[in-house]
Structure 1
Amino acid sequence: MTTVTVRLCLDRLRRRVPTPEADIELPDTAPDPADEMESAETLGVALQAVIDRLGPRERVAFVLHDSFGFEFATIAEVLDTTPPAARTLASRARAKVRRPAVEDGPADWEVVDAFLAAARHGEFERLLELLAPDAAVGADRAAVLVGTPHRIDGREQVATFFNGAAASALPVFVGDRPGAAWFDRGTPRVAFDFVVSGGVVHRIDFRAEPALLGRLVRRAGDRRREVGRR
């Protein structure tokens, strides 16, 4: 994916027409290099903060279409999907970029990682804080066959199930959503598909269908923050 994206970017840059020297207007005074460096650093931090709000596939669709102007048919080939799906990914990413970050609420990945940390450390009260009152757990047939419960209803029941568990769960993207997966000797066995809204977990689905497990993407787990403990 990185190689394809880099090649596409280089091709676009090579096709750019240079501006004739006669058309270049020089400023009366040269800019201060320190100011330029500070501006570039600030822009880089802001850009990273925006990009962090997008899933991997959303990032590719958004950058290739909105920044480089590639058609959705080309983006679909890069992402191994259909043009309408690529258009949807770009549209979803665009909406996230334009929507200001909520100062008082944590990002979905923060909630997911805080939940997993509380589960590992047996912090029952913390789990209750991170679960919606009507929280539920579900599972697909493949997950049930490997030993997960079919369904759990209620905040206390879900917290009890996860309390002291999830020791082998690692952070992943389930589609474009932050989630986790149970790994056995480096191989994902069950994905934890989280539904997060309003800073709390509303639902967790155990999913073990091979097609989904094969598309899981590991995400950095070293950016965790304690949700609600700032």
Structure 2
Amino acid sequence: MVDLAAEFEAERGHLLAVAHRMLGSRSEAEDAVQETWLRYAKALADPADRAQIRDLRGWLTTTCSRICLDVLRSARVRREAYPGQWLPEPVVTDVPAVDGFAPDPAERAVRAEQLGTALLVVLERLTPEQRVAFVLHDVFAVPFGTVADVLGTTPVAARQLASRARRAVAGPDSPRHTADLAEQQRVLTAFVAAVESGELDGLVQVLAPDVVMIGDGGGHVPAARRPVVGAVAVARFLLGLFGQAARHGGRLVARPVLVDGALGWQAETVYRGQPLRMVTSFAVHDGRVTGVFNQVNPEKVARLAGLGADADWPPRW
């Protein structure tokens, strides 16, 4: 069992990455990985059975993907009954050092595997089968033969599912997010300055014409029940939010973070006498913000570490 655990732990990070991209929930991804471990230990406790597995990562990835597929199928009912708009549970990590914005090839390759909030939101539109096919093949380069085994279909059908998912992901109403960290830093610095100025025209210039803003309050915190779309509408909504926070006497403090690999911030304020925690992430393309994603559902930010004494406003990357 010690050897089994060591081999599994070496693959845990990969499995978490697969599960999170499929499920959009860190807690559900961790549960799926734990279930994968239980099936692995049960199936491979017999040395003879263990010897038949020649590609451990492939076996674990297939098993984890099947578990995720079952979760996705059951989750559709829960998501349809979700109060208001849904955003994924954010995975928050520290911003790299100052030189971390340099275009280092190895660093780019690591971050290229991070989907970001924008794509996770788009993936919610897919059927469970399309999502699994897309994540396995397009994100992790799993052959269609293996994808077909996971889905219980043929390689041709698996290829068609991935193709339909690819078209949906690249659709005209999907927030585009192509900027590297250096460009994200420049754009978000201008975005924060425009918000601080309080001038509508200045903020509109930083936003793409078809920018979309989504807020997830989970029924616990007030948030728009539908996406806010368009530069003018989003700019007015944002300026209203910041003005409202000031009127309620809550001082906003934040620290820059990476949210699913893209720049954003983790913030805290007081709203109507109660502490409010939030994580805001962005999609950036062609020098403008194309998506603003504000996670204020207490259940999805409860596990985040505190901001620390150096938190301030505005955030500076």
TM-score (norm 2): 0.34
- Structure with bigger helix share is 2
Which of the two has greater strand per residue? 1
TM-score normalised to structure 1 length? 0.45
Specify the structure having the higher radius of gyration (Cα): 1
